[in-house]
Chain A
């Protein structure tokens, strides 16, 4: 059991972790999520007594880490896969760690077998790939058969077989009644591995709940609708009908429509009444990734933007398709941010009757993209804009 109370860490003027309180319980895998720079690693280092908290405290089994009797037998940690002297062999590295806790040398060979490094045990770790380094780090964490395990990004650089192995290992360790605390950026992996989540952003606690609660509290579902690609008119017609019926329609890059605010049977009925054939009508379940993105979008420190290549391309010239064409039904594109932000909780589109067409979750944001500001130049095929630019 790991318990943090009011944990705060400041580096000069920058606050890395602020007033963080949580418990990591034994018997379950607890995922530790947060954007880059949100303070995950700092928190892990404070748990291990490597960094001193500016305020608050964190204990493992009731003791501060530095006062733990025989720490390696109680707590195993993987912080950084590359934290190995490159000139030392994998076996020597583990042997030096084993001797600290009075662990017999046979145990070193045993964990090397567990992580599958027995064939390279005598090789210098300098030549190890990131995945092999992770396995070595996991071996070091398992060495003392500890009751509390911390893993910082354990699946980084592992192959699919390795990822599956780590997933099962975490679950097995937790099922044996151990405390397992894992940080990761791979949401799909976390959804499969973790039972409980602690999410932080900018050093503060955003969520501390089970994975299922987290997803249902932070996401909403939508329907994907596809009309025959050969008949663009049908797409326009359906968009008009759905919008009229109170749905919000967004265009996906491949031409499909993303509909919220209408249940699936109603979409089907409307299409049938409008005499539009459908090639696809599928429910889309929110994933942990979407729920996470929604929760942390305000707390992301480092956000990527599109590479516009503005200085590497000739100036655009008039005469693009779209000019001179009759005004068309404008379909707002799905925000191209590489991720989908679901509507805020409580606005589940499938809950009850269609809502009034109030500013929906997909209404253009105040600072709309340029495409929306100049309707005539917007074409229904969102991919056209990128093609034209080339």
Chain B
């Protein structure tokens, strides 16, 4: 029985010795921070043009996370590649020949990659927050304000969970291309579009990204958005259910199907 600690060590070696890890995680951080900063600067300069409702419910914390809509895609790519390259290179057979215990293999891999994604996610959200607040000028908030710390930590959790969700999906689909082809349009287009369509948005509220992103809001229905039927932690809970489902699906596929 390959010890879990040995598999964790091996997966850490695997993840740190490919350049795609650095590239995807660095772009997740840089894209989020840069785009959030740019939008915060834009909010500050055009604040007077916003409608009264929007001004009244302006959420400076959430505004400093507005780059995540793009940055999360890099997290998706990271999550997909961590698992998908095992399949595209054929390395999965070498790995499973060395670790015949499927659960140990999969969950060690996801633990290592997931912790790394969470750490980078947290760094991203704190950097985004501080840079965004600095640029917002008089509209800024502070970490000490009500619920702000929860939102900033939640932003990091959100980024990490998106990556872990992608790892589960890639394990189910066993292909990087297929997984990216489904996940990227889903998070970038389908989820965003459906959340604006009248009837569909009742369903879209329960999508992992829509539900999970509520944790980042300090003002519940900020900027004239509709009120969700769940709170910030409830939203994160819904996202966690999605993540658990994708991991379970991935595990079952890995266990049942031939490698």
Q: Taking beta carbons and an 8 Å cutoff, which residues of A are in contact with B? A: 45, 48-52, 65-72, 75, 77, 79-80, 82-89, 92-93, 95-97, 99-102, 140
A69 touches B6 (CB 8 A): no
Chain A residues positioned under 8 Å from B101 (CB to CB): 66
- CB within 8 A of B89: which of A52, A65, A85, A99? A85
A97 touches B10 (CB 8 A): yes
Beyond the given pairs A85-B89, A95-B13, 7 more chain A to chain B contacts, judged by CB atoms under 8 angstroms and listed by A's residue number, are A50-B96, A50-B258, A52-B258, A70-B1, A72-B98, A88-B18, A95-B17
Known contacts A51-B259, A69-B1, A100-B6; A87/B97 CB under 8 A: no
B100 touches A49 (CB 8 A): yes
Chain B residues positioned under 8 Å from A52 (CB to CB): 258
Chain A residues positioned under 8 Å from B94 (CB to CB): 77, 79, 83-84, 97, 140
Chain B residues positioned under 8 Å from A49 (CB to CB): 96-97, 100
A86 touches B89 (CB 8 A): yes
Chain B residues positioned under 8 Å from A95 (CB to CB): 13, 17
- CB within 8 A of B10: which of A45, A66, A99? A99
Chain A nearest CB from B116 CB (Å) reads 15
User: How long is the Cα–Cα vector from A71 to B97 in the complex, in angstroms?
Assistant: 7
Q: Is the interface of B mostly helix, strand, loop or mixed?
A: helix
> Which A-chain residue is minimally distant from B258 (CB atoms)?
A51
A92 touches B13 (CB 8 A): yes
Chain A residues positioned under 8 Å from B6 (CB to CB): 99-102
Does B14 sit at the interface, judged by CB under 8 A?
Answer: yes
Does B99 sit at the interface, judged by CB under 8 A?
Answer: yes
A97 touches B19 (CB 8 A): no
Chain A nearest CB from B11 CB (Å) reads 8
Chain B residues positioned under 8 Å from A83 (CB to CB): 89-91, 93-94
What sequence of 0s and 1s flags, for each residue 1-37 of chain B, a beta carbon within 8 Å of any chain A beta carbon? 1110011011101100111100000000000000000
User: How long is the Cα–Cα vector from A83 to B86 in the complex, in angstroms?
Assistant: 9
Chain B residues positioned under 8 Å from A100 (CB to CB): 2, 6-7, 10, 98-99
A45 touches B20 (CB 8 A): no
Does B85 sit at the interface, judged by CB under 8 A?
Answer: yes
B93 touches A45 (CB 8 A): yes
> Which A-chain residue is minimally distant from B94 (CB atoms)?
A83
Chain A residues positioned under 8 Å from B19 (CB to CB): 87
Chain A residues positioned under 8 Å from B86 (CB to CB): 85
B259 touches A96 (CB 8 A): no
> Which B-chain residue is minimally distant from A46 (CB atoms)?
B258
Known contacts A83-B89, A85-B89; A99/B97 CB under 8 A: no
Chain B residues positioned under 8 Å from A68 (CB to CB): 100
B93 touches A96 (CB 8 A): no
Chain A nearest CB from B82 CB (Å) reads 11
Chain B residues positioned under 8 Å from A51 (CB to CB): 258-259
A92 touches B89 (CB 8 A): no
B9 touches A99 (CB 8 A): yes
Chain A residues positioned under 8 Å from B1 (CB to CB): 69-70
User: How long is the Cα–Cα vector from A85 to B6 in the complex, in angstroms?
Assistant: 20
| Cβ-closest 5 pairs across A and B | A83-B90, A92-B17, A51-B258, A99-B10, A50-B259
Chain A nearest CB from B96 CB (Å) reads 6
B100 touches A87 (CB 8 A): no
Chain B residues positioned under 8 Å from A77 (CB to CB): 94, 97
Chain A residues positioned under 8 Å from B9 (CB to CB): 99
- CB within 8 A of B90: which of A82, A89, A92, A140? A82
A79 touches B93 (CB 8 A): yes
User: How long is the Cα–Cα vector from A71 to B9 in the complex, in angstroms?
Assistant: 17
CB proximity to A under 8 Å, residues B76-130 = 85-86, 89-91, 93-94, 96-101
User: How long is the Cα–Cα vector from A87 to B97 in the complex, in angstroms?
Assistant: 21
User: How long is the Cα–Cα vector from A140 to B259 in the complex, in angstroms?
Assistant: 19
B7 touches A45 (CB 8 A): no
> Which A-chain residue is minimally distant from B7 (CB atoms)?
A100
User: How long is the Cα–Cα vector from A77 to B11 in the complex, in angstroms?
Assistant: 20
> Which A-chain residue is minimally distant from B19 (CB atoms)?
A87
Known contacts A70-B2, A96-B14, A100-B2; A75/B97 CB under 8 A: yes
Chain B residues positioned under 8 Å from A79 (CB to CB): 90, 93-94, 97
A45 touches B90 (CB 8 A): no
> Which B-chain residue is minimally distant from A89 (CB atoms)?
B17
Chain B nearest CB from A115 CB (Å) reads 16
Chain A residues positioned under 8 Å from B259 (CB to CB): 45, 50-51
A87 touches B18 (CB 8 A): yes
